[in-house]
């Protein structure tokens, strides 16, 4: 199967999880989703990542995001591992972990990279919007834990740029200035959309205060 690309519809699936059977599109509903895979249960880096995800529940909720993890181990293994995660990370795992023992979801999402490891999933992560479109794909090697601040930052950027005619510059974070998209050239429309004005560094690089800053 070809790899998923940005803008593709995220494949639907049914799979068992630590919280019972998941029908993915139905489970996602009208929320954004973060689907991320782990090489195996009872591994150190994954344990820290799942702890971080649990602690970020309120941050995800503010953004209308549901998190769902995946490992190729079975449900009973997940349940035992969750006990370790909760006790070592000082958290309560509050999201499902898919039990992808038959590699069904891993195959749909191209999470097994044979030249890295023929049997284990790499650290793939997908951000999926409420229309079930893939909006972000990040793949880390098994030895490198993910930066969840970056994942939240990208979701903030996606949600902002979906609703305003802007893009976010490098290292942007909530509250920073943003860039007016080059396709927007009508002066009157620019005034309407950006009443706070803008600074034209060059004709194509126009910085303006974040439009929804007061409601972020």
Q: Is 187 left (phi over 0), alpha (psi -120 to 50) or beta?
A: alpha
Active site residue: 34, 46, 68, 91, which one? Answer: 46
Instruction: Report the alpha-carbon distance of residue 50 to residue 155 in Å, rounded.
Output: 18
Spell out the domain ranges in the chain. Answer: 14-146, 164-215
46 is catalytic: yes
Q: What pLDDT does residue 117 have?
A: 56
Q: Do residues 27 and 66 make contact, with C-beta atoms less than 8 angstroms apart?
A: yes
Residue 193 token pair: 């959309």
* Model confidence, pTM: 0.90
Encode the chain (216 residues) as per-residue pLDDT tens digits: 458 899 999 999 999 999 999 999 999 999 999 999 988 889 899 999 999 999 999 999 999 999 999 998 999 999 999 999 999 999 999 999 999 999 899 889 988 765 555 555 568 899 999 999 999 999 888 888 999 999 999 999 999 999 999 999 999 999 999 999 999 999 899 999 999 999 999 999 999 999 987 543
- Is it true that domain 14-146 has CATH number 3.40.30.10? yes
* CATH number of this structure's domain 164-215, picked from the four choices 3.40.50.300, 3.50.30.30, 3.30.1020.10, 3.40.50.720: 3.30.1020.10
Instruction: Report the alpha-carbon distance of residue 87 to residue 186 in Å, rounded.
Output: 57
Residue 146 token pair: 């993910």
Q: Where are the alpha helices (DSSP H) in 29-173?
A: 44-55, 57-62, 75-89, 104-108, 148-163
Residue 29 C-beta-side C-alpha neighbours within 13 Å = 7
């Amino acid at each position: 199967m070809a790899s998923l690309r940005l803008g593709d519809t995220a494949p639907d699936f049914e799979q068992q999880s630590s919280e019972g059977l998941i029908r993915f599109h139905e489970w996602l509903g009208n929320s954004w989703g973060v689907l991320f895979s782990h090489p195996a249960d009872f591994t150190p880096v994954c344990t820290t990542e799942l702890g971080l995800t649990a602690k970020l529940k309120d941050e995800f909720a503010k953004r209308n995001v549901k998190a769902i993890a995946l490992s190729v181990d079975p449900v009973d293994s997940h349940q035992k591992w969750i006990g370790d995660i909760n006790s070592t990370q000082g958290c309560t795992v509050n999201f499902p972990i898919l039990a992808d023992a038959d590699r069904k979801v891993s195959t749909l999402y191209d999470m097994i990279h044979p030249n890295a490891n023929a049997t284990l999933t790499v650290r793939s992560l997908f951000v999926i919007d409420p229309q079930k479109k893939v909006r972000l794909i990040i793949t880390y090697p098994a030895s490198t834990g993910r930066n969840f601040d970056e994942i939240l930052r990208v979701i903030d950027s996606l949600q902002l740029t979906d609703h305003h005619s802007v893009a976010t510059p490098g290292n942007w974070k909530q509250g920073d200035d943003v860039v007016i998209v080059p396709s927007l050239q009508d002066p009157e429309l620019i005034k309407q959309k950006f009443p706070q004005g803008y600074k034209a560094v060059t004709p194509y690089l126009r910085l303006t205060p974040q439009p929804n800053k007061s409601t972020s």
